[in-house]
Amino acid sequence: MNAHTENDSSAGTDTGRRKLLKMTGTGAVALGLAMAAPGQAAAQPRLRLGDKWDKTFPRSDKVEHRKVSFRNRYGLRLAADLYQPKNAGGKLAAIAVSGPFGAVKEQSSGLYAQTMAEQGFVTLAFDPSYTGESGGEPRHVASPDINTEDFSAAVDFLGLQPNVDRKRIGVIGICGFSGMALTAASSDSRIRAVATASMYDMSRSMSRSHRDSYTLEQRRKVIDYLGEQRWKDAESGKYALGYHELPFDERGNIVKGTRILPETLPRDPDPVLASFFDYYRTKRGCHPRGINSTTAWTATTPMSFFSFPMAANLEMIAPRPVLLVAGEKAHSRYYSEDVYKAAQGAGELLIVSGADHVDLYDRLDKIPFDRLTAFFRQHLA
């Protein structure tokens, strides 16, 4: 194992996180910042493939881009962007990319995919099932099983491309989809190398809260709430929206709601709140199809994440390599550190000096693309 740390200071992130939960009324800040009206998730838009540039980042003149679609083993059609280096010959290594949790391929994952294509890889940024332009009803549902399968389906697609060497395919998971990427690799040995950025384990986050702060009593209250919400959904015939990580107020009651990110920042906002607002709710990263930018997950989404832990078989990844990239100041940093400890020799931990969680979404001066490139060139050689 190799750990690379430029500065090992993370003081104050836990205090800030707890303060932020109270300010916003949710513990889903890291991955589900959104604005939503109460009610049912919107119907799926019809998938229309075209070449219109609808990303939150500039188009590169070094790669070829086209929209594609493919099916996972549940029969759901996934929408994706395929990026290929221009004028590259022969069989190439390939990388599938997805995340953050509640984002779409036009945001961070597309930036990662396009940048890695500039480095000579065939890359695929995809919308997870039930989100973005991908299929699945009802909308705005997440599943530890189905979203893990999405990565393997992306490997299927890449391996069928005539210019891809199917023995040289890796994956990148960003934020909440890091857990799905690692879980996919633990059962799909076709994935030869895995990198994560700003990792979040969504099953741990939803079922235990930030830094495992839920008490046993609180966890029981959460599943009672989810059961009651299912009765309401069954009676109404609609799937209500809600927080996917549930906070508690000062009296020990669950805080409920469907609007996560405020319209405007409060005066002197918590730095974590400010960083997410700056990405998801401004021109920097806002996208109309992104759950985190415009809406919320279905309120009962946490149920399956309580039942099915992510990354439960990390030992199965070795000897295939894992690169875990986390910001020095990220409130989520401990997820990467814990996986690094559990990876049994297969893991490499890279702490980016001065970076917070959201910096690794799109800050080109913070994302270590040189290290990502070297990692995949070495392990997909």
Query: pLDDT by residue (tens digit) across 99-132?
Result: 999 999 999 999 999 999 999 999 999 999 999 9
SS3 state of residue 33: coil
pLDDT class for 273, splitting at 50, 70, 90? confident
What DSSP designation does 107 have?
A: S
Residue 249 burial (10 A CB sphere; 0-12, 13-18, 19+)? exposed
Predicted local confidence at residue 274, as pLDDT: 87
Predicted local confidence at residue 178, as pLDDT: 98
Instruction: Reply yes or no on whether the pLDDT at 36 is more than 80.
Output: no
Strands 347-352 and 322-327: parallel
Residue 19 burial (10 A CB sphere; 0-12, 13-18, 19+)? middle
> For 93, phi and psi rounded to 5 degrees?
-75, 155
Q: Which residue has the higher pLDDT, 2 or 165?
A: 165
Q: What tokens were used for 241?
A: 């929206």
Percentage of the chain exceeding pLDDT 90: 77
Cα(203)–Cα(312) distance, integer angstroms: 10
SS3 state of residue 47: coil
The counts of H helices and E strands in the chain are: 13, 9
* Cα angle for residues 8, 108, 98 (degrees, 5° grid): 95
SS3 state of residue 185: helix
Strand partners, 65: 83
What DSSP designation does 21 have?
A: H
Query: pLDDT by residue (tens digit) across 37-80?
Result: 345 555 555 566 767 899 999 999 999 999 999 999 999 999 99
For 116, other C-beta atoms within 10 Å of its C-beta total 27
| Helix locations, 132-250, DSSP H | 144-159, 177-187, 202-208, 216-236
